[in-house]
């Protein structure tokens, strides 16, 4: 039953360079391939950039296997970027040095608008289109009627916490409200500060990334929209952020956050958590694989539902999913063809099953769910989607017309420096709605209010 539930929920709305040498499956040297007469052929090198680090080692192994076994003399090189992945992609395209394959999930709409993606429709067989048809979403996999990326896995978000630190601080249960979360963070800090232990942290080096894995879900479970957008009214309204940002500021002001969160990236945060220095944070189901492979740890860590503002659940907990690999529109045709051969390999059922069985992500294809072995991964069951999880509709993207600060930057600045939160909320709502109006007038966005939208019954 668990297997059926995973795929059903995830598909409702969807859902370092590598050395050129190695050995083939028989142990023979594969430094370079030779034709039948023994003359060496030059390899066709294609590049793959990703901002995903939780599965980097596993993907490296898949790439090595592809490089050793493909019969087209294709060599894929992998580059894993840090938090500046999106900026690096923009710079690469502007300087005509774009990678041949990229991961679009970090800024899909903006990348699609800029024309970075090669349509995949003509590459895909009818069988492949049929296999993925129930997982494709407009503005997530499809843009302007063209398929530009296929899904591999989905992610849920949970409160990740250190049970040992909760026990030491006398906390019986994970927090269900904002006030309980702030109080738990304070208790853990009071008990552990002498040992460099603090109650709460997020990767605030990138405020948007931090809030997309925390504040967004707190608000969704509390009945609000996505990043300030209200689907009922078809407008932006950041009023719901007041109580959440106030609680975050409280944790910062009373010293319950790990010192240095202003410059904390997600991997250093994970490393600190694995060392037992952080009581709790909010993040994706990718953490299962992170603490299994990337930062192995012996601490007793667990995952719990995302807290709500006051303990009342008024909406589904938002899940992510839908994008994995895309081909660059800037590559020449030979490299596009080679890139598709690599994508076809990566999206093979065999590799999707293997990926799911590692626990690095939750599968989205029913065929994968039916054939995979349930991962023997610590806390896997805590991240499996339930009826309380759902993939929310896509919010309209207004960044191209936005004047002023992005919401996450404005709220993070308030947490650090204070100010008038009501004025900040008013100004953000106005600037985002002004930008929305401009995007509608340009014909880039078509938004209609949905008075019947129900956050508890997302279909």
Q: 3-state SS string over 103-150?
A: CCCCCHHHHHHCCCECCCCCCCCHHHHHHHHHHCCECCCEECCEECCE
320 - beta bridge partners? 155
Within a 10 A sphere around the Cβ of 127, how many other Cβ atoms?
7
What does the domain layout of the chain look like in residue ranges?
A: 2-154+321-386, 157-318
In order along the chain (459 residues), what is the average pLDDT of each group of 10 residues? 51 39 38 44 92 85 96 95 84 95 87 94 95 86 92 91 98 98 98 98 95 96 96 97 98 98 95 98 91 92 98 93 89 97 96 88 86 90 90 87 95 98 98 96 90 91
Which of these, 158, 157, 316, lies nearest to 224 by C-alpha position? 316
The structural architecture, per CATH, of the domain 2-154+321-386 is 3-Layer(aba) Sandwich (3.40)
* Residue 93 near residue 112 (C-beta atoms within 8 A): no
pTM over 0.85: no
Distance CA 392, CA 406 (A): 21
Q: Hey, what long-range contacts does 183-188 have (CB within 8 A, 24 or more apart)?
A: 184/279, 184/280, 185/251, 185/256, 185/257, 185/279, 185/280, 186/251, 186/254, 186/256, 188/256, 188/279, 188/280
For residue 402, what are its two tokens?
């936005």
Distance CA 365, CA 131 (A): 8
Q: How much is the pLDDT for 252?
A: 98
Strands 317-318 and 44-50: unpaired
Q: How much is the pLDDT for 56?
A: 85
What CATH number matches the domain at 157-318, 3.40.190.10, 3.90.105.10, 3.40.50.620, 3.40.50.300? 3.40.190.10
Task: Count Cα atoms within 13 angstroms, Cβ side, for 105.
Answer: 19
- CATH fold match for the domains 2-154+321-386 and 157-318: yes
Q: How much is the pLDDT for 154?
A: 83
Q: How much is the pLDDT for 83?
A: 66
| CA distance from start to end of the chain | 20
Cα–Cα distances (Å) from 129 to 62, 139, 147, 410, in that order, read 23, 17, 10, 42
Q: How much is the pLDDT for 81?
A: 82
DSSP of 6-41: HHHHHTS-------S--B-TTS-B-SS-B-TTSPBP
DSSP state for residue 290 in the 8-state scheme:
I
């Amino acid at each position: 039953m668990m297997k059926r539930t995973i795929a059903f929920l995830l598909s409702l709305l969807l859902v370092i360079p590598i050395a050129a040498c190695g050995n083939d499956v028989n142990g023979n040297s594969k430094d370079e391939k030779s034709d039948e007469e023994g003359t060496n052929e030059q390899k066709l090198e294609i590049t793959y950039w990703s901002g995903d680090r939780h599965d980097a080692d596993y993907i490296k192994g898949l790439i090595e296997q592809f490089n050793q076994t493909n019969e087209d003399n294709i060599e894929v090189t992998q580059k894993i970027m840090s938090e500046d992945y999106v900026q690096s992609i923009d710079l690469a395209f502007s300087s005509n040095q774009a990678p041949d394959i990229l991961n679009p999930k970090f800024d899909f709409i903006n990348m699609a608008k800029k024309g970075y993606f090669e349509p995949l429709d003509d590459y895909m067989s009818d069988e492949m289109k049929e296999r993925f048809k129930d997982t494709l979403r407009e503005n997530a996999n499809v843009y302007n009627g063209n398929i530009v990326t296929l899904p591999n896995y989905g992610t849920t978000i949970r409160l990740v916490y250190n049970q040992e630190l909760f026990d030491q601080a006398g906390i019986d249960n994970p927090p269900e409200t904002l006030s309980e979360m702030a109080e738990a963070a304070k208790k853990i800090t009071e008990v552990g500060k002498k040992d460099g232990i603090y109650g709460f942290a997020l990767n605030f080096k990138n405020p948007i990334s931090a809030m997309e894995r925390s504040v967004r879900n707190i608000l969704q479970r509390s009945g609000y929209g996505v990043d300030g957008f209200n689907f009922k009214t078809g407008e932006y309204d950041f009023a719901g952020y007041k109580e959440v940002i106030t609680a975050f500021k409280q944790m910062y002001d009373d010293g319950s956050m790990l010192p240095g969160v202003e410059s904390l990236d997600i991997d250093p945060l994970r490393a600190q958590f694995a060392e037992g220095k952080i009581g709790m944070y909010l993040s994706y189901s990718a953490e299962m694989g992170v603490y299994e492979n990337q930062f192995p740890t012996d601490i007793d860590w667990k995952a719990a539902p995302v807290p709500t503002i006051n303990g009342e659940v008024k909406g589904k907990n938002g899940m992510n999913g839908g994008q994995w690999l895309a081909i660059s529109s800037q590559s020449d045709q030979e490299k596009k063809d080679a890139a598709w051969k690599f994508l076809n390999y990566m999206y093979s059922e065999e590799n999707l099953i293997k990926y799911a069985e590692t626990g690095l992500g939750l599968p989205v294809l029913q065929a994968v769910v039916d054939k995979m072995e349930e991962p023997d991964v610590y806390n896997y069951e805590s991240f499996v989607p339930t009826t309380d999880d759902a993939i929310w509709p896509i919010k309209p993207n207004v960044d191209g017309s936005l004047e002023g600060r992005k919401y996450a930057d404005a709220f993070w600045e308030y947490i650090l420096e204070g100010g008038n939160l009501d004025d900040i909320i008013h100004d953000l709502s106005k600037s985002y709605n002004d930008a929305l109006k401009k995007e509608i007038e340009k014909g880039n966005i078509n938004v209609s209010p949905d008075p019947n939208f129900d956050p508890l019954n997302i279909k």
